[in-house]
């Protein structure tokens, strides 16, 4: 009995750009302009191991594929490259077909996860969340306010979200710093990404076990009481997804906004006008320096054309959020105009858009972090030339490796 030969695994398209090109984090705006001129709105890229994918940087093309879950589903099982992907592939945590979580399910199964996770987040008391964020932010500022200088990424921006989100989920405070390290490694997609993913999973397993034994008024306990027949693995994966999606992008939102305030005259002038301008600055950062630059992904359900490129069934599409924000079709003179300033993709779009309660929690944490710091250290200034600031080496999440500042020493608020 004969069988039909398997179709060949698609290879790299001509001119494919390595996703580890350092210009994705050193000068993304210039790189995206060049890629758009060379390839158009859909760019062939090479993932680790010379694995091909498409990076969508056209605003209209991105809006189309994110909004069409039938033609471009978020279903990693469709990927035509699985035979080439090793088990220890550094981006496996971002693209995993074996995970029954809110990130990797589709259709009715995805809705089942949403119906558990979103109400658990929605029930968070935003007033208490803001109060706790203020308490944590003040405590962090107290650790360096008397010194006249500080480094605000490791010492502030990376610590605030994990402690506030940890309290919301019921994570013990002592678990938060190592969790922040694991999440940062996971987001960077480097050699230690697999170890970071393993630590995150084990921490969420401990959390589920603890909350089964002693429930509380927290997101995890509410998820565990949902009548959906979820497995232990599903709870662990959904909690890991909530924490991973909430911590690092929020930390980078804080860091990128503070960097903009200290280096960009537009933001400085705006902030001088009043507290309401902090929100404007944060929103402009989502357009021009968004924490999530590239998001994986969507898969072509069948052969098609997009942005002048021929896609085969099972091809992966990376969502180039920052690239789309710079699309000349939605900007006049460098200013975004499509649908107003809220038309960015920083929280994605369509069926798999970041749920509103999660957006609200992230904004509360980020805005509180910026406001508390500016209130406590009103004459804060950058301690190095702006050109000396270094971005973390990642094409996916954009954040600073360090943000050194100086200020007039003040007295801590705490005892």
Domain that holds residue 229: 17-406
Q: How far apart are CA 181 and CA 6, in angstroms?
A: 42
- Domain containing residue 141: CATH number: 1.10.630.10
Domain membership of residue 5 (yes or no) is: no
Domain membership of residue 415 (yes or no) is: no
On the question of a cis peptide bond just before residue 297, with omega within 30 degrees of 0, the verdict is yes
Domain membership of residue 186 (yes or no) is: yes
- pLDDT score of 397 more than 50: yes
**What is the pLDDT at residue 202?**
94
Domain membership of residue 6 (yes or no) is: no
Domain membership of residue 11 (yes or no) is: no
Domain membership of residue 7 (yes or no) is: no
Give me the residues paired with residue 56 across strands: 42, 319
Region class of 305: left (phi > 0), else alpha (psi between -120 and 50), else beta: beta
Contact 367, 375 (CB under 8 A): no
The domain total for the chain is: 1
> CA 6 → CA 10, 356, 382, distances in Å?
12, 43, 58
Contact 251, 354 (CB under 8 A): no
For the chain, percent of residues with pLDDT exceeding 90: 60
> CA 197 → CA 81, 86, 100, 185, 208, distances in Å?
22, 16, 16, 8, 17
Half-sphere exposure of 242 (CA within 13 A, CB side): 31
Domain membership of residue 31 (yes or no) is: yes
Q: In this predicted model, what pLDDT tens digit does every residue of 9-63 receive, in sequence order? A: 778 888 999 999 999 988 999 999 999 999 999 999 999 999 999 999 999 999 9
Domain membership of residue 42 (yes or no) is: yes
- What is the C-alpha end-to-end distance of the chain, expressed in Å? 81
Q: How far apart are CA 376 and CA 156, in angstroms?
A: 13
User: What pTM was computed for the model?
Assistant: 0.89
Q: Given pLDDT bands bounded at 50, 70 and 90, which one contains residue 312?
A: very high
């Amino acid at each position: 009995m004969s069988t039909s030969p398997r179709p060949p695994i698609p290879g790299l398209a001509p001119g494919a750009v390595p996703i580890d090109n350092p210009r994705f984090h050193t000068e993304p705006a210039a790189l995206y302009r060049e890629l758009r001129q060379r390839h158009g709105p859909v760019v062939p890229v090479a993932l680790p191991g010379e694995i091909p994918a498409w990076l969508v940087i056209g605003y209209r093309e991105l809006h189309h594929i994110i909004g069409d879950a039938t033609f471009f589903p978020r279903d990693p099982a469709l990927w035509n490259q699985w035979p080439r992907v090793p088990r220890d592939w550094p981006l496996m945590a971002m693209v995993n077909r074996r995970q029954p979580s809110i990130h990797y399910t589709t259709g009715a199964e995805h809705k089942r996860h949403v119906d558990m996770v979103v109400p658990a987040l929605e029930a968070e008391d935003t007033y208490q969340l803001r109060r706790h964020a203020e308490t944590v932010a003040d405590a962090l500022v107290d650790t360096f306010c008397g010194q006249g200088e500080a480094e605000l990424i490791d010492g502030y921006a990376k610590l605030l979200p994990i402690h506030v989100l940890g309290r919301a989920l019921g994570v013990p405070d002592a678990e938060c710093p190592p969790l922040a390290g694991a999440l940062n490694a996971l987001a960077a997609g480097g050699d230690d990404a697999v170890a970071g993913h393993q630590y995150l999973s084990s921490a969420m397993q401990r959390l589920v076990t603890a909350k089964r034994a002693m429930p509380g008024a927290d997101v995890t306990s509410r998820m565990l009481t949902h009548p959906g027949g979820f497995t232990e693995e599903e709870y662990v994966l959904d909690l890991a997804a909530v924490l991973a999606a909430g911590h690092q992008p929020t930390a980078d939102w804080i860091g990128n906004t503070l960097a903009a305030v200290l280096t960009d005259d537009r933001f400085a002038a705006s902030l001088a006008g009043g507290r309401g301008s902090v929100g404007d600055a944060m929103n402009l950062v989502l357009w021009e320096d968004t924490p999530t630059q590239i998001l994986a992904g969507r898969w072509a359900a069948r052969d098609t054309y997009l942005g002048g490129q021929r896609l085969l069934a099972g091809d992966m599409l990376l969502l180039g959020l920052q690239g789309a924000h710079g699309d000349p079709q939605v900007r006049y003179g460098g200013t975004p105009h499509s649908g107003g300033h809220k038309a960015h993709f920083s929280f994605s779009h369509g069926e798999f858009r970041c749920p509103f309660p999660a957006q609200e929690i992230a904004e509360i944490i980020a805005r509180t972090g910026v406001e508390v710091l500016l209130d406590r250290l009103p004459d804060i200034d950058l301690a190095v030339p702006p050109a000396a600031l270094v971005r973390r080496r990642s094409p996916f999440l954009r954040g600073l490796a360090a943000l050194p500042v100086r200020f007039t020493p003040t007295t801590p608020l705490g005892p």
